[in-house]
């Protein structure tokens, strides 16, 4: 009897097998289709969801946001496992996949809804984001100043289902869009060999 009780006590004392502690990161970098593609390729990223943030209308539609009158930016919310990928790695992915030298536009898309912006979810993310921006301000291979702001994350509204994983569902149209928009050409012009790593 005492052996069974001892075994039960030992089992209770064992740490429970827990799920990995996942974290969120939110980035606006122009078209959210392109942001999804960039982040979903990073090992340790669990998901990247296209959506809207930074505006004043609750649960906005794509039509409302694309009017430029709601204050939202197209953004991607990344869920990641910090045991497999660091927030700093995600920050590098963010910087190297947008044009930080412009405000209310990215590539061929113009308007505040396409503005680049880095949204932090904690004081630690804010500290790391500011350090990352300072690093790139020092090391950037282009002359123009970095204009991308760092702001607190607010409510994030997932976009309509047809926007999710657009680059996978519609590869031909997506490739036509990014090529015609000059996205990769401009990124290579800005960041050069840094984008190859």
Q: Which residues are catalytic?
A: 31
| 32 neighbors 109 (Cβ within 8 angstroms) | no
Sequence-separated (6 or more) residues with CB below 8 Å from residue 126: 120, 150, 152
Between CA 126 and CA 128 the distance in angstroms is 6
> In whole angstroms, what separates CA 145 from the centre of its chain?
21
């Amino acid at each position: 009897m005492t052996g069974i009780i001892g075994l039960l006590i030992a089992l209770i004392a064992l740490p429970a097998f827990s799920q990995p502690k996942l974290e969120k990161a939110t980035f606006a970098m122009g078209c959210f289709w392109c942001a999804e593609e960039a982040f979903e390729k990073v090992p340790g990223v669990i998901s990247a969801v296209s959506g809207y943030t930074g505006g004043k209308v609750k649960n906005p539609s794509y039509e409302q946001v694309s009017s430029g009158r709601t204050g939202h930016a197209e953004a991607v919310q990344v869920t990641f496992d910090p045991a497999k990928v660091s927030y700093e790695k995600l920050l590098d992915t963010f910087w190297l996949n947008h044009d930080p030298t412009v405000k209310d536009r990215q590539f061929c898309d113009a308007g505040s809804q396409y503005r680049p912006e880095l949204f932090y979810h904690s004081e630690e993310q804010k500290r790391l984001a500011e350090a990352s921006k300072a690093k790139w301000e020092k090391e950037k291979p282009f002359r123009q100043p970095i204009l991308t702001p760092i702001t607190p994350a607010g409510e994030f509204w997932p976009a309509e289902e047809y926007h999710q994983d657009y680059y996978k569902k519609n590869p031909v149209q997506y490739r036509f869009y990014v090529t015609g928009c000059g996205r990769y050409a401009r990124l290579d012009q800005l960041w050069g060999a840094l984008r190859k790593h």
